[in-house]
Structure 1
């Protein structure tokens, strides 16, 4: 049984919820962009600003900022259209019920673009963590292509929408179901394999005295959980045929951006506290949130912190204690014995 939430009330709440989440995203984006461009890592300290900007994660961050901002602007414009411009503000219900409105179509395009970029970055991270193994990203690449096709389909269907149609049973509704399924599969698959890879690397690093990487594992899992739970929440509200789906789906881009930026910010802040160093254990794991060149988690050349060792050297001389070079005064050669033991 669907919840009896008025359409106008649902869209009014959209403006408040979307604006709140957009503000959170904006703060995280600013911090993430600063850390990505001005990160004090040793191998980027001598790079110019242009080289730092032309990295996959910086470019994707800028793109996702544009799409999320565009979606939020469309939400604000639609609020003014419904209560001020359209029919002099006397028919907000008719305005919101018409999904073929240009602002609604454009907003849908921004929404789907944000989801596509977010999924693409997840696949990129998976590819880097698994040492650029192409076979590991075969499945998520297929789901990403499916998402792109369905995103085009849903955007087009909104242009053909006839006021009065039931969005839950039309062709647009089937595109929505497919979109949600594809992005859900992509994120669960990528997050699970990234987490498993980091966990295995952590186990190997601990054997050699490296520090724990569980904090990085927690960052990945927590950020993925935010996006996945919101996707499930939207799908549940959509399938229950309630108007609550509208504030949920309109906040989807901001939630995508928040989950995206949280990884960059939390890993970046943890790294900055170590100056120019990197996280111990697998040195490349800490670089996951920077660039393709600086992201090498799971690299075959893994490095670990070595335990300190004490070396005790004893020299035994048969006759005499005064020597020149390698011979003693009496002509007898001494012998060297060394003991090496870990501290």
Structure 2
């Protein structure tokens, strides 16, 4: 191994750990705020958030935390235990090492949870229509198979063999995630726009349309972060750049930030609704806005 390749590998590992630790701080703060807002909402309205969503968020938080701990442990092993240099590089290039297997397994867990929450949002927005989620559920199954195969390939390959031999499974996993995100976002956008047009026809006002579009903006803005990261990993992997290992290591915390940003903005909307009195409106408009806000809250609680 040349000195330049050695320094590149070691530099990428340090970069992964530093960036992940920095992003984890932001993720932990937003996650804590989301938990507080959920709890405050439950106390004020005597309502409970959907159990699946809350449980998924907690498991996502634990998996991201475990991924960060494993990254720090890998850094300790390479530089404190092995003393850096070639032994450390060999550790990081050995995909069959337990720490590396744990690293990629936690990435697959975080990806699966994130995509499951995307499908759940689609399911709620479409009024629990099971036919709408058949396609993404099939894609999730393909993603699970691909993830299991990736972990198996890690257990028996080196980094360089991995690029050539297991590329189809990595590509399949990443494309599956993009299909789920693209399909779900498109269907959610279509449903909300149709609802907004219906409210506008009923009320003769654009207010209901505005409330629903706020929900749409929250979903689209937050999903763009996850989509951009997935595309970056896919492109860098196909090209064969080492930067894909950095992006892959950062993907759990980036996906986590993408998810909790949705709930943080929704929670802030709850707080505003609880402490702000609405202005008097005509009866027809009041009925329309009450309906649109009820639908909006149903959508938000399901994210």
* 8 Å CA contact retained: 1:33, 1:61: no
Mean Cα displacement is larger for which, 94-103 or 5-14?
Answer: 5-14
1:61 equivalent in structure 2: 57
- The corresponding residue for 1:82 is 78
Which digits, 9 at most, give the CA deviation of each residue in 1:271-291, with x for residues without a partner?
211107898525122233325
Quote how far apart the aligned CAs of 1:38 are: 2.1
Asked whether the 8 Å contact 2:185–2:220 carries over to 1, the reply is yes
RMSD (CA atoms): 2.3
Partner of 2:179: 185
Q: Secondary structure at the match of 1:14?
A: helix
Q: Is the 8 A contact 1:150 1:179 kept in 2?
A: yes
Number of residue-to-residue matches in the alignment: 281
- Tell me the distance in 1 between the aligned counterparts of 2:71 and 2:159: 21
Distance 1:219 1:235 in 2: 25
Pick aligned residue for 1:113 from 99, 109, 112: 109
Larger Rg: 1
Q: Secondary structure, in 3 states, of the residue corresponding to 1:178? A: helix
Name structure 2 gaps, 5 residues minimum.
Answer: 279-288
Is the 1:147–1:179 Cα contact (8 Å) retained in structure 2? Answer: yes
User: Which is bigger in relative contact order (C-alpha 8 A, separation at least 6)?
Assistant: 2
Larger strand fraction of residues: 1
Map residues 212-251 of structure 1 onto 2, 5 A cutoff: 212=210, 213-251=212-250
Contact 1:53 1:59 in 2 (8 A): no
State the Cα distance separating 1:129 from its structure 2 match: 0.5
Q: Which residue of 1 aligns with 2:165?
A: 170
For the structure 1 residues 156 and 276, does the alpha-carbon distance in structure 2 shift closer, same or farther, using more than 3 Å as the test?
farther
Q: Which residue of 2 aligns with 1:197?
A: 191
Higher deviation after alignment, 109-118 or 88-97: 88-97
CA distance in 2, matches of 1:53, 1:140: 24
Structure 1 outlier segments of 4+, above 4 Å: 276-280
TM normalised by structure 1 equals 0.76
Helix, strand or coil for the counterpart of 2:273?
A: coil
Q: Superposed, which structure 2 residues align to 1:317-332 within 5 Å? A: none
CA shift at 1:53, angstroms? Answer: 6.8
Cα distance in 1 for partners of 2:139, 2:132 equals 13
**Where is the helix percentage greater, Structure 1 or Structure 2?**
2
SS at match of 1:39: helix
Gaps of 5+ in 1: 296-343
